[in-house]
Amino acid sequence: MAFERDSLALVGEALDRLAEGFRGLPEDPAAGVGADVDVPAMREVLLEAATRMQDNFPYHHPLYAGQMLKPPHPVARAAYALSLWLNPNNHALDGGRASSAMEKEVVRDLAAMCGLAEHLGHLTGGGTMANLEALHVNGSERPGRAVLASEHAHYTHARLCAVLGIPFRTVPADRAGRMDAALLERELGTGDVGVVVCTLGTTSIGAVDPLADIARLRDRFGFRLHVDAAYGGYFTLADSLRASTRAHFDALSLADSLAIDPHKHGLQPYGCGCVLFRDPAMGAHYTHDSPYTYFSSPDLHLGEISLECSRPGAAAVALWATHRMLPLARGGDFATGLDLGRRAALDLHTRLAADPRFHVLDPPELDIVVWAARGPTASASSRRARAIFDAAAKIDLHLALARLPRAMWEGRAELAWDEAELTCLRSCLMRPAHASWIDAIFERLSRATDAG
Instruction: Judge whether 73 lies within some domain.
Output: no
pLDDT 10s digits, 312-354: 999 999 999 999 999 999 999 999 999 999 999 999 999 999 9
Residue 37 has pLDDT above 90, yes or no: no
Instruction: Judge whether 399 lies within some domain.
Output: yes
pLDDT 10s digits, 361-372: 999 999 999 999
Percentage of the chain exceeding pLDDT 90 = 88
CA distance 371 to 387: 14
Last residue of a domain, one of 277, 303, 325: 325
**N-terminal to C-terminal alpha carbon distance within the chain:** 27
The pLDDT of residue 35: 61
Length of the chain: 452
The pLDDT of residue 299: 65
Do residues 214 and 171 share a domain?
yes
CA distance 266 to 71: 10
Tell the burial category of 338 from Cβ atoms under 10 Å away from its Cβ (0-12, 13-18, 19+): buried
Instruction: Judge whether 16 lies within some domain.
Output: no
Last residue of a domain, one of 269, 299, 325: 325
User: Are 301 and 293 within 8 A, CB to CB?
Assistant: yes
Number of separate domains in the chain = 2
Do residues 356 and 257 share a domain?
no
Do residues 343 and 273 share a domain?
no
CA distance 352 to 341: 17
Do residues 302 and 368 share a domain?
no
Residue 296 has pLDDT above 60, yes or no: no
Do residues 276 and 407 share a domain?
no
Do residues 239 and 348 share a domain?
no
pLDDT 10s digits, 128-181: 999 999 999 999 999 999 999 999 999 999 999 999 999 999 999 999 999 999
Instruction: Judge whether 362 lies within some domain.
Output: yes
Last residue of a domain, one of 325, 350, 368: 325
Element (H, E) at 376: none
Q: Which amino acid is it at 369? A: V
Do residues 385 and 271 share a domain?
no
**DSSP code at position 125:** S
For residue 1, the SS3 value is: coil
- For the chain, the average pLDDT equals 94
Helix, strand, coil percent values for the chain (each to nearest 5): 45, 15, 40
For residue 242, the SS3 value is: coil
CA 418 from centre of chain: 35
Do residues 348 and 304 share a domain?
no
The pLDDT of residue 451: 92
Instruction: Judge whether 359 lies within some domain.
Output: yes
Tally of CB atoms within 10 A around 63: 19
Report H helices in 114-172: 127-141, 156-164
Do residues 200 and 308 share a domain?
yes
Residue 444 domain boundaries: 333-451
Do residues 127 and 254 share a domain?
yes
Cis previous bond, 201, omega within 30: no
Instruction: Give the residue-averaged pLDDT of 183-188.
Output: 98
CA distance 279 to 225: 12
The pLDDT of residue 394: 97
The pLDDT of residue 198: 98
Residue 292 has pLDDT above 50, yes or no: no
pLDDT 10s digits, 400-440: 999 999 999 998 888 999 999 999 999 999 999 999 999 99
pLDDT 10s digits, 53-85: 999 999 999 999 999 999 999 999 999 999 999
pLDDT 10s digits, 85-122: 999 999 988 899 999 999 999 999 999 999 999 999 99
CATH number at residue 415: 3.90.1150.10
